[in-house]
């Protein structure tokens, strides 16, 4: 299956278990891998045969900057479901949500979840 990758999209959301996360918010970085057949788009040069990256970005922004969730796992699930519902050409999606500055003591780069969901 062909893939469209959208990497390192940055959003500001209010997700987390701790009250300060819900009040102050924080950065979230999202990577998407969209699986779909791109042969027609490539041969016809017609956007109707692909998905509009700008529209995908707006969906991701709406989800990540929308209603606060306790878990980034829930953010990833909602984003995957919304993308599959919105864009019928997408057959599968991999969503990675990175939380670069979680309130966890210790030295690390970030924490992240990655899920893969398919159209059924």
Predicted confidence at residue 101, as pLDDT, reads 87
Chain centre to alpha carbon of residue 102:
18
pLDDT in tens, 57-101: 999 999 999 999 999 999 999 999 999 999 999 999 999 999 998
Q: How confident is the model at residue 107, as a pLDDT?
A: 85
Q: Are 11 and 64 in contact, with CB atoms under 8 Å apart? A: yes
36 burial via Cβ count (<10 Å: 0-12, 13-18, 19+): buried
Q: Which domain holds residue 85?
A: 2-118
Say whether pLDDT at 108 is over 90: no
pLDDT of amino acid 120: 87
Global confidence as pTM: 0.95
Provide the CATH number for the domain around residue 91.
3.30.1130.10
Catalytic residue among 23, 61, 69, 99: 99
**Catalytic residue flag (residue 99):** yes
Q: How many domains does the chain have?
A: 1
pLDDT tens readout for residues 10-44:
999 999 999 999 999 999 999 999 999 999 999 99
């Amino acid at each position: 299956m062909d893939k469209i990758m959208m990497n390192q999209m940055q959003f500001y959301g209010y997700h987390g278990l701790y009250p300060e996360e819900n009040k102050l918010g924080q950065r979230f970085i999202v990577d998407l891998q969209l699986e779909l057949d791109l042969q027609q788009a490539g041969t016809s040069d017609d956007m109707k045969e692909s998905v509009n990256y700008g529209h995908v970005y707006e969906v991701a922004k709406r989800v990540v900057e929308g209603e606060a969730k306790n878990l980034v796992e829930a953010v990833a699930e909602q984003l995957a479901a919304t993308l599959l519902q919105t864009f019928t050409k997408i057959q599968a999606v991999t969503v990675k949500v990175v939380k670069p500055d979680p309130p966890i003591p210790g030295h690390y780069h970030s924490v992240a979840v990655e899920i893969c969901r398919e159209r059924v």
